[in-house]
Amino acid sequence: MPQAESAPKHPQTPGTASSDARRQAAELTALEASIVNTLQGDFPLTHRPFDVAGQRLDISGKQLRSTIASLLERKVLTRFGPLFQIERMGGQFVLAALQVPEERYDEVTAQVNAFDAVAHNYRREHALNMWFVLATSTPAGMQQAIADIEQATGLPVHAFPKLEEYFVGMRFTVGGEQPVGVVAPADALEAGNARNAPGTAIQGVADKLDAIRADDGAGAQSDASAPPDSGVAVPTLHDEDWPLIRACQAGLALDTDTPYATLASQLGWTEDRVLQRLQELLDAGIIRRIGVVPNHYAIGYRFNAMGVFDVDDAAIARLGPQVGALDFVTHCYRRPRDLPLWPYNLFAMCHGSSREAVLQQIAQVRALLGTDCRGHDALFSTRILKKSGLRV
């Protein structure tokens, strides 16, 4: 007999109605919307990249630079530049959570956000009410970061390292109505799915599963997600790469037509050397993509929830890729349970324009899992506490 499903339980967050996760979408011009929709990847690696990218939009490079700067200033974008895959650099990502007393919440937020290893931090509806992503360049650095946060806050860190990655991929479209859990165009083409032209979402679970399987061999854990001690080879980084990574991890310069020449000047390199090495890092998957990163709340995806599910361990390898293939799932992982507080082992991020839409997505995942799922919950984010990206 299957166990009765546990009911989701999470306290409502004080001040939820006015939190920044519920704010109205920003008003964007047609040009601004086009920049957000089309420049989330494939930003050119060339001498005057803004001119080249601007030609696609029928604007000058100068106008493109000023518009991206405005979108960043208004927090429609969270950053602009390369996005690094730290696990391909021998490092580690870990999702972690704290149970923070309400009277200490602001204090603990400041303490946690002060750590460079904290790339993202969200308030979520649950007894574990602070969720953050740690990114470090070595596994030893991860253990130190966790210990330092525990010492600073006086609170135990609940760490949920990735055991298996079933899917990571997202493309946001202004308006908040389009599916976001799509294979990026470059990834789709690499997977041999040439019917998906750049900018076109992969339609249907079957197509998305085909692309995932072709990309990682079985729809299971790929080398992009392999922990450093897994025995899976990762691309080689050279000592010279670290100054380059540190120079552009916060983004590309917007006060010049030639941002790669600016990087070269900072590093004492030639511009050609910068362009060549960035392309090599992109080809190796160390750079995931180069482009704008939207604030999904500001462009219409005003609600997101981390759907979590207690799935039978014997069934999760079969079901995880199916959940990851749903077109509204942007991230899907297997992570460890942390009993008795946390019984869940399958995590799926869902985004939508309304709370009801996201709850319907969670219900669809739950229906797919069937009797192999013993319980689930939906942890809605109610506030962005930090979103800075990788810092090494």
DSSP 342-391: B---EEEEEEESSHHHHHHHHHHHHHHHGGGEEEEEEEEEEEEEEE----
The pLDDT of residue 170: 77
Q: If DSSP codes are grouped into helix, strand and coil, which group holds residue 81?
A: strand
Q: State the Cα–Cα distance between residues 66 and 61, nearest whole angstrom.
A: 9
Q: If DSSP codes are grouped into helix, strand and coil, which group holds residue 217?
A: coil
In the chain, % helix, strand, coil (3-state, to 5) comes to 35, 20, 40
What the block records as the tokens of 12 is: 């409502």
Determine contact, residues 65/338, Cβ cutoff 8 Å. Answer: no
Residue 12 binned pLDDT confidence (cut-offs 50, 70, 90): very low
Q: State the Cα–Cα distance between residues 106 and 91, nearest whole angstrom.
A: 30
For the stretch 319-341, pLDDT in tens is: 999 999 998 999 999 999 999 99
Lowest-confidence segment of 164-173, 188-197, 200-209, 232-241 by average pLDDT? 188-197
Show the domains of the chain with their CATH numbers: 30-84+235-292 (1.10.10.2890)
Q: Which residue has the higher pLDDT, 228 or 59?
A: 59
Within 10 angstroms of residue 11's Cβ, the number of other Cβ atoms is 10
pLDDT over 70 at 353, yes or no: yes
Q: If DSSP codes are grouped into helix, strand and coil, which group holds residue 267?
A: helix
What is the identity of the amino acid at 236? T
DSSP 268: T
Q: Which residue has the higher pLDDT, 80 or 353?
A: 80
230 Cα distance to chain centroid: 22
Determine contact, residues 135/78, Cβ cutoff 8 Å. Answer: no
**For residues 330-342, b (16+ Cβ closer than 10 Å) or e, as one string?**
bbbbbbeeeeeeb
For the stretch 205-240, pLDDT in tens is: 555 454 444 444 333 333 333 344 444 445 578 888
pLDDT over 50 at 67, yes or no: yes
Kindly tell me the burial class for residue 281, based on how many C-beta atoms sit within 10 Å of its own C-beta (0-12, 13-18, 19 or more).
buried
Cα dihedral 292, 294, 299, 301 sign: positive
Residues in the chain: 392
Residue 388 binned pLDDT confidence (cut-offs 50, 70, 90): confident
Q: State the Cα–Cα distance between residues 348 and 337, nearest whole angstrom.
A: 15
Determine contact, residues 267/247, Cβ cutoff 8 Å. Answer: yes
Q: What is the mean pLDDT of residues 141-153?
A: 96
Q: If DSSP codes are grouped into helix, strand and coil, which group holds residue 136?
A: strand
Mean pLDDT for all residues in the chain:
83
Percent of the chain with pLDDT over 70: 79
Point out which residues pair with 342 in neighbouring strands. Answer: 338
Within 10 angstroms of residue 280's Cβ, the number of other Cβ atoms is 14
What the block records as the tokens of 205 is: 């679970």
Cα dihedral 148, 152, 156, 162 sign: negative
- Report helix angle 316-324 to 355-369, nearest 10: 150
pLDDT over 60 at 276, yes or no: yes
pLDDT over 60 at 33, yes or no: yes
